[in-house]
Amino acid sequence: MNGMRLIMALAALTGRPIRLSSVAAPDDDPDSLRLRVDPADQITPGRAFHAHRGIQYAAGRKLRLDLLTPRTPGPHPLVVYLPGGGFVTARRAMAARQRRQVTQAGFAVAAVEYRTVGDGATYRDGLADVAAAVSFLRAHAARYDIDPARTALWGESAGGYLAAMAATDPDHGVAALTGAGVDAVVDVFGATHLATVAAGFDPDTAAATTAPGTPLPAYVLGPGRAFADHPDEVTRADPVSHVTGATPPFLLLHGDDDRIIAPVQTARLHRALRRAGVDSTRYVLEGAGHGALSPQARAWTSTQVMDIVVGFLRSRLGDEV
């Protein structure tokens, strides 16, 4: 069973199943780049890296990260990877091949576990965990051959949402909690405008996605509370609402057949970033779904997609990697 299917099984066992819409939602952003991916052209990362596994990064909390660093001379720019998991779990083993590929391109890549609804947490706890991981890695930069002045966030699904919030939230983001922000964000099919998170999906899925007791509203508002009853709090939890001209550059990727997070989510963030004058590039993968939770899973581990990710990171964190 692959990682994302394991997450589906775990979510179901906890009574918080991740639903897939029976219909695809439309994507309406004319500024995005359409990408037809050859799934046969797969990345083939080697093992030319140092692996530091199970590092406890938060005092008083048993939260860990796995860090991969290149064997080439450093210091290396830092990429902090936030795994998906439907806000139910955050397994740092996710995206192993993609993380190795980015490491071999010259980056130190840390996969960070964070608190979820399974821990009774909300997104503010998750943001505190992201900030704690970044702060820990910067404080131990010499030990791990990291350049603390060059940092990017990279998240998928729930992790994409947290990456966007960590880069934009003025009160609970990385800059607010550590004193220094990040230089770039890679957001892969993350939610960004929660009031429309299931826009275009079938009615049952749309209703279930934001119903009290389901993972997303529980992670945003706490248990037993509904989006419709707390619109101001929902807005404060939206990355779209926090974008300013000082927001770092974004790379956004989404499949046009995503049945879990509607493609319009990253489209809304992309438009907000562009309106604020922030450098934002958004790719829409034709026929691709929600990562490994779709028949087109190999699109996300293709050379085309990972070359885009690596190219963006090099352009924002510097060429000397």
Extents of the domains making up the chain: 20-209+240-317
Q: What is the pTM of this model?
A: 0.93
Q: What backbone torsions phi and psi does residue 33 show, to the nearest 5 degrees?
A: -100, 125
Tokens of 104: 């071999």
- Local structure of residue 302 (DSSP, 8 states): B
- From 79, 59, 22, select the one nearest 309 (Cα to Cα): 79
Q: Give residue-wise pLDDT tens across range 89-110.
A: 999 999 999 999 999 999 999 9
Residue bearing the bigger pLDDT, 1 or 14: 14
CB 107 within 8 A of CB 77: yes
Q: Residue 122 pLDDT more than 80?
A: yes
Q: Which residues contact 3 (CB under 8 A, 6 or more apart)?
A: 91, 93, 94, 95, 292
Q: What pLDDT does residue 16 have?
A: 54
Most confident among 22-31, 289-298, 312-321 (mean pLDDT): 289-298
246: how many CB neighbours lie within 10 A of its CB?
12
CB 280 within 8 A of CB 32: no
Instruction: Please tell me whether the peptide bond between 75 and the residue prior to it is cis, using omega within 30 degrees of 0.
Output: yes
Q: Which CATH number describes the domain made up of 20-209+240-317?
A: 3.40.50.1820
CA distances from 95 to 6, 98, 298 (A): 13, 5, 12
Q: Give residue-wise pLDDT tens across range 37-89.
A: 999 999 999 888 999 999 999 988 899 999 999 999 999 999 999 999 999 99
Tokens of 5: 């299917």
